Structure 1
Amino acid sequence: MRKVKSPLHKGTGQGRGRKEWGQPKKRRYHHKSTSGCGTCKIRRVKCDETRPYCQRCIKARLGCEGYHDKPSQERSPLSPTNRTTNQQIPPVYLSAAAVCRSPGQSMFKNEQEARYFKIFCNQTANQLTGLFSSDLWRRLVPQICEDYPPIRHAIIAIGALDPKTWRSPARSFEETARRQFAYHEYSMAIAEMRNTMSRESVELRVRLIACLVVFCFESYHYNRDSANPQVRAMSSMIEEEEEKSPNGLDVEEEILETVTELKIQSLAAYGYGKAPSEQLLLSSLNWRQSMRPDIPLEFTNMRHARSVLYLFATRQLHWAGASMYGWPWYLDPRAKGKGSVIDQIDPPQNDATPNDEWCKERNRRFLEYTAWSNAFQPLLLKIRGSKDVGEVRRANLLRISYLYAYLTMMAAMLNPHEAYYGQTARLAELLSLLKTLLEDPGNDEGFSIEAKTITPLAVVAFRFRHRALRKEAIRLLRKYPRREGLNDGCYIAGLAEWVAELEEESLSDEEEYIPYELAATVVAQKWDPLKRTADLAAVMRDRKSHDKAMIRYEATIFW
């Protein structure tokens, strides 16, 4: 008897599919893409090959890795999910073996590299240039990229980081994809730089530019512990080459100016890091005494005025670190037992600097800054009378730089009557200029490696405790969030608010300044740039106790 198949048996027309019995079952194969994006290749699905990002991945809310020559790409070790906040990038030392042109080959591996390199040249370079004209980012850096692949990868990574999105983590898929590509390119740049460290070194200008681009990428993410070693490395390179080349360095002036500006930031933020040795003290003394620029009776251009002011600021920071006098000296425990501190004129003698030598050096500092101000004043008035808005902004920025450098020096050198309570007019002028500069930022997106406004606002908020002006400085930091080199304005604002809360507790409204003996001193800062948190510690005299003992306060702020 012939057997009859069940209607629900696999292979019948009434089961799964309407196939005739005996017809072979069709098998489903995953599509193996050979020219699609990296994500579709990993998922083994068909890619629609839309550039720069696959629309299929976007609709599925997946991370498109873009189009690469290799079939797959590993996650970059520098991506936000893998990179730790304490991971430091070593100072960059490069080799001549890698500096070569590849004739007949394209400079870019794919369309994305070419696109973001073009974005850097057309957009990002203008942001990094700042107010003062310079060919560093527009011409010198792109030229180096033609011959040096590691720097080219780093520049492509910076171009992929949209300057408008530095304030917060990526919020859209497009922002996430750009940052993933940036981290991938940056990891390749660092890997190639590390591979050439042990080879024959290249010319100085290339090594300095390599450190600059690494500093730029790290400061964008506020990784200060990775950015600052690049500044120290550049300073060491220049000092070593100056010893070898007494006739001068074969390096463009724009590069040296940028390194000097970053060196000032580094010394102001980190200092020497430890007590200076006897050799360092001697070399610092010889260095500042041998560099005495001739100040003209009147500056004819702002570039000359700025270079002289940078020299004064660098020497001042060297001297402050070598003489071991912190701010404020009249709160030093060694000043006790010598009568009223507020009546003392000079600081107590320490083991690093004789008192008479310190006072002579102080007088030279004041004379130099006064001579600079007198030479710059005619040029400042002339520019302010013109109709060139850009020149007026640059002149005001230079006046801002002078004011906060002078005020920073004064706070550490004079007694409280002059240094602490007697600078209201200068502080008010400084704050007024900063407000004018911030209210008309132009095309500035708030990210720069050049110190413009954050450091001067921090001087108003921390160096001098004028309550109303400090409140206004904090308001400006909050209203105009910025990140400049080693400083973040939102973090500075949070720190200043916490210190103000400590100092103004139970203080009457009639007090214009915080009493100098009740000023809090921040002794520890530990920040997490990914979580945007910071652990702080400060010491302050107990206003309620009779002996005014020091009390330690700790807090965690979010910025």
Structure 2
Amino acid sequence: MRNPQSPKNNTHLTNSLIGGLKESNSRLNRSGKARIRHWAPKVKTGCMTCRIRRVKCDETKPVCQRCSSTGRKCDGYNSVPPGPPTTVLSVVQMPSYWEVVSSNPVETESFRFFHSVTIPTLAGFFDQGRWARRLLQMSHRYPALWHAMTAVACIHRDFIANSTPITMSRMQDSSQVRLALQQWNKSIQSLQELLSGQVLTKFDRLVILSVCILFITMSSLQGRLWQAFVHINSGLKLIHQWKLADKGEDQRDEDSDLDVLLVLFTQLDSQARPYLPSLSNNLQWTDKQIILSSSTNPFKSLLEACVALEVHFNKMMQIYTNNSIYIDGLDAGMQIKRQQCLLGLTEWDARLDKYLGRTPQPENGKALKLLYVRRRLAQVALSMDLTEGELAHDDFVEDYAYMLRLMGDILGDPMDPLDSQPADIDQSQNMSFHLETITTEPLFLIALRCREPTIRRQAIRLLRQYPRREGICEGMAALKIAERVMEIEEECLSSPENACARGNWICENHRVTWLQFFLVHDRQARTVVHTREDLLHGQPGREIVTTYW
């Protein structure tokens, strides 16, 4: 049996991780010049951290900018040396890559932008300091991580500073994009070195998966879905190959770091599922599922609860993105999987209740609300009577209203999200990016499946008012599809009475039953929507073409 850490297998992993980047790399110029390390005087009056590192301190108090800008802990200006570092710091506070590249002002400035601006968009509700502290520290020992961070900073800056209206497709060429490509190429070269000829430590693996997440972030920010799919698939295969979901009961810092990665990769896998029927043959998408250790113990944190919930949610998505169920219904195997998902969610409820019994006021109220929304979405999908078709959703109107209220709370919407006639609010229409799945996907599903007109229109309003890209889910594309589906379905309101069938608000025959998603090219997708009437009469569906901003 081949050793998964062998140099030969590491080379295979390298090819898997960087396979989608060859075209971008070929456009880069390489100077080939070695970096020059500048001499700096010894520091005797600075903070203890800078004195130990023998670098010049700016002596800003209470913490110096030299430490805070690089994610280090500033130990102040006491004369007593600090105690021994923690396990994580002992790994990363050896001779630092920062000391090699700090003479490059462009890279340094981009890294600081990543630290101060980009990290909050990546961290999400369940991060627990991973991006803000530990990964920044680790980047000083891993050039692949350092350059991936600076590349993402450049693309993110271009994303938030771009003045193109969100109703138009933006240009993809700027000085920031060109700088990002150079940094991306350096990250790939360093990743190849890391994966060639050495046994990978646990920290090495965390760094590799983190670089993979940063590559996905870059691809998503640029709207390059195919590249994002390649990296998602590569990361999932590494998680399964390294058996990283198999953890014991004792949680350490690196275990919480891994939990954050498991949440992100599982959410991204769920977002990619609708596209897989048209992509799987080319991508060879992994069919393996993340299986967590069985436990009835209460969750130790909301992050642990989130990991378990996203695994159940992903299993549910794998059932309901199987095209055959929309034509032939659930077979016996699918029914068994659905019952297993329901049982898993019931066990999840019990573990969360035990956690909340011990922690009545969790660390983040919005995080808990987001868990409730994801849990309710899965419950609705798994509990409905599929023999009723789309009419089954009418039995869950109260559930959709409940989720919509929670979405309004998470977004901080200033008005009652269930107002039937909301007044126009002067709201900035700038697109924002978040790596974690938060509101776009739930609002899209509410607008798509709930036919009660007030709830549906409020979900669409929130999509329009808070334009977001979350993971690879494009909010404006979701908005366009939801509005078009509502328009198609409401044709029955002006149709001859004998053309309609039973159903509240929207008749059964006019309801959109099946959506197919296709990539036209990197920044454009095609969605084909089929009503029940289309399927009954063998009619082609109607197409919706959406372009990523």
Q: Would you say same fold, with TM above 0.5?
A: yes
The structure with higher relative contact order (CA 8 Å, sep 6+) is: 2
CA–CA distance in 1 between the matches of 2:489 and 2:315? 30
Which of 438, 460, 468 is the matching residue for 1:474? 460
1:256 deviation in Å? Answer: 1.7
> Structure 1 residues 184, 464: CA separation in 2 closer, same or farther (over 3 Å shift)?
same
CA pair 188-324 structure 1, distance change in 2 beyond 3 A: same
Task: Name 1:158's counterpart in structure 2.
Answer: 152
| 2:394 partner SS | coil
Does the 8 Å contact 2:394/2:504 carry over to 1? no
Q: TM-score, with normalisation over the residues of structure 1? A: 0.63
Are 1:371 and 2:350 matched, yes or no?
yes
The within-5 A match list for 1:73-112 is 101=95, 106-112=100-106
Over 3 Å counting, the alpha-carbon distance change for 1:192 and 1:169 in structure 2 is: farther
**C-alpha spacing 1:213/1:555, structure 2 compared with 1 (3 Å):** closer
Aligned positions, number: 427
Q: 1:266 to 1:121 in 2, by over 3 A?
A: closer
Structure 2 segments unaligned to the other structure (5+ residues)? 1-27, 35-92, 415-427, 496-501
Secondary structure at 1:537's aligned position in 2? strand
Q: Which residue number corresponds to residue 84 of structure 1?
A: none
Return the letter of the residue paired with 1:266: L
Q: Show CA shifts across 1:153-201 (max 9, x none).
A: 221122234458448467999x943333233322332344356654435
Matches within 5 A, 1:130-145: 130-145=124-139
Residues 1:363 and 1:311: Cα distance change in structure 2 (over 3 Å): closer
In structure 2, relative to structure 1, the CA distance for the partners of 1:137 and 1:219 (3 Å cut) is: same
In structure 2, the partner of 1:395 is 368
**Residue of 515, 535, 541 corresponding to 1:552:** 541
1:308 to 1:518, Cα distance in 2 relative to 1, 3 A:
same
CA distance in 1, matches of 2:247, 2:354: 30
Q: 1:365 to 1:104 in 2, by over 3 A?
A: closer
- Tell me whether 1:432 sits opposite 2:405 in the alignment: yes
3-state secondary structure, aligned to 1:518: coil
Match of 2:340 among 361, 366, 369: 361
Q: Could you say which residue in structure 2 is the equivalent of 1:310?
A: 307
Residues 75-102 of structure 1 deviation map (CA, whole Å, 9 limit, x = unaligned): xxxxxxxxxxxxxxxxxxxxxxxx9957
Q: Report the alpha carbon displacement of residue 445 of structure 1 after superposing the two structures with TM.
A: 7.6
Of the candidates 510, 519, 523, which is equivalent to residue 526 of structure 1?
Answer: 519
The amino acid across from 1:228 in the alignment is F
Say if 1:103 and 1:271 are closer, same or farther in 2 by CA, change over 3 A. closer
Would the alpha carbon gap of residues 146 and 348 (structure 1) be closer, same or farther in structure 2, given more than 3 Å must change?
closer
1:92-491 counterparts in 2 under 5 A?
A: 101=95, 106-163=100-157, 165-166=159-160, 168=162, 176-194=174-192, 197-200=195-198, 202=200, 203-242=204-243, 252-271=254-273, 273=276, 291-294=293-296, 296=298, 304-318=301-315, 321=318, 326=322, 329=325, 331-333=326-328, 347-349=330-332, 352-353=333-334, 357-358=336-337, 360-361=339-340, 364-365=343-344, 367-368=346-347, 370-371=349-350, 374-375=353-354, 382-383=360-361, 391-411=364-384, 415=388, 419-439=392-412, 446-491=432-477
- Structure 1: how far apart are the matches of 2:547 and 2:287? 42
Normalization by structure 2: what TM-score?
Answer: 0.64
Match of residue 503, structure 1, among 480, 489, 494: 489
Q: How far apart are residue 274 of structure 1 and its match?
A: 5.6
Could you say which residue in structure 1 is the equivalent of 2:42?
none
Partner of 2:207: helix, strand, or coil? helix
SS at match of 1:293: coil
Contact 1:541/1:551, CA 8 A, preserved across alignment: no
Instruction: Report the 3-state secondary structure (helix = DSSP H, G, I; strand = E; otherwise coil) of the residue aligned with 2:381.
Output: helix
Q: Tell me the SS of whatever aligns to 2:242.
A: helix
Given that 1:540 and 1:550 are in contact with CA atoms closer than 8 Å, whether structure 2 keeps it comes out as no
The separation in 2 between residues aligned to 1:263 and 1:115, in whole angstroms, is: 29
Residue 392 of structure 1: how far off its partner (Å): 2.8
CA distance in 2, matches of 1:281, 1:119: 35
- Which runs of 5 or more residues in structure 1 are unaligned? 1-64, 72-98, 336-346, 385-389
Per the TM alignment, residue 516 of structure 1 is displaced from its structure 2 partner at its CA by 4.4
* Contact 1:127–1:445, Cα closer than 8 Å, also in 2: no
Give, in angstroms, the shift of residue 379 of structure 1.
7.8
Which amino acid letter does the alignment assign opposite residue 230 of structure 2? Answer: P
Could you tell me how far apart the structure 2 residues matched to 1:505 and 1:412 are?
Answer: 26
**Separation (CA, whole Å) in 2 of partners of 1:556 and 1:105:** 48
Change (3 A) 1:170 1:524: closer
Q: 1:129 to 1:366 in 2, by over 3 A?
A: closer
Native 8 Å contact 1:420 1:516 kept in 2: no
Q: Which residue type is aligned with residue 498 of structure 1?
A: R
Q: Which amino acid aligns with 2:365?
A: V
- Counterpart contact for 1:263–1:314, Cα < 8 Å: no
Cα distance in 2, alignment partners of residues 359 and 231 from structure 1: 25
Change (3 A) 1:432 1:200: same
